[in-house]
A = this chain, B = another copy of it.
Amino acid sequence: MIMAQHRILVTNDDGIDSRGIFALVQAMRRLGEVVVVAPDRQQSAVGHALTVSSPLRAVPFYRDGSMFGYAINGTPADCVKLGVSCLLDQPPTMVVSGINHGSNASVNAIYSGTVSAATEGTLMGIPSMAVSLNTFDHDADMTLAAEVAYMVASRMHDMQLPKGTLLNVNVPTVGQPDFKGIRVTRQGHSEWRDSYERRKDPMGREYFWLTGDFVTVEPHPDADDLAVQDGWAAVTPIHYELTNFEAFHRLQSFAF
């Protein structure tokens, strides 16, 4: 079922001029009216940051001669808050964030600005999803990811997600013949084994670049990252009920 008239707020963390958001906007226009409110520059690994110490501005951004959306000097979460509170005439029926260059499966969801935008939408009571493509290649083909975004968004109402739960969608970089379909998954248990590359600047002072390897810790058969590796588009319902209830109940009688 497609709702009579969707109003979709589209954002991302790669910036309003990225190829990913352009592909996503075209896909979402098949569902209804689209308003773009996105960062004016790249905001990767920005997490769920909010701009509280400086004012925000919303500048019209044009693409191919027509108004494409509002460029914001802030984070993805700022874009959703400001968009819903001030820029849209009425609340959106959906917040869709992406298409991100790079996976947000498994532990990456925690660091992701793309996911944080969808989280902010959810916190505001709006059905929300994040869409990411499993490659850092900026020339990557967005066709499959855009089609998956359309298919999942068009069914989001039917999924009857509980309040506070959003969809984290990750799409493989495979050609249509090798694409296995869309699957509901759980957050994978992988992690970054970090390291820093130490260098010296021309003045001889040390500095550090973050690098790291992504390793699977527990290979759950329904893990989102493993499903994507296997050629599936992975749809993980996530929420921000952070309490570990097992520990909470066990520690009720703990005496400090």
Contact = CB atoms under 8 A, between A and B. Distances in A.
**Is the interface on chain A under 10, 10 to 19, 20 to 34, or 35 or more residues?**
35 or more
A243 B254 contact: no
Nearest to A242: B238
A55 interface: yes
Interface string A101-145: 000000101110000100100011000000000000000000000
A157 interface: no
A82 B196 CA distance: 7
B47 A53 contact: no
Interface stretch (A3-11, A91-99, A183-191): A183-191
Q: How many copies does the complex hold?
A: 2
Interface in A197-244: 198-199, 205-210, 222, 235-244
Interface stretch (A15-23, A26-34, A38-46, A170-178): A38-46
B186 A245 contact: yes
Contacts of A240: 107, 110, 242
Given A123-B191, A196-B86, A199-B55, A244 B49 contact: no
A252 B222 CA distance: 10
Given A45-B50, A50-B111, A85-B195, A247 B243 contact: no
Interface centre among A48, A116, A123 (most CB of B within 10 A): A48
A38 B240 CA distance: 26
A123 B55 CA distance: 33
A248 B220 CA distance: 14
27 contacts: A45-B52, A47-B77, A47-B116, A48-B111, A50-B111, A55-B199, A56-B196, A56-B207, A56-B210, A57-B206, A58-B206, A86-B196, A109-B242, A123-B191, A152-B256, A155-B256, A159-B251, A162-B244, A184-B248, A184-B252, A185-B248, A235-B251, A237-B243, A237-B244, A237-B247, A238-B244, A239-B242
Given A48-B111, A256-B155, A243 B251 contact: no
A151 interface: yes
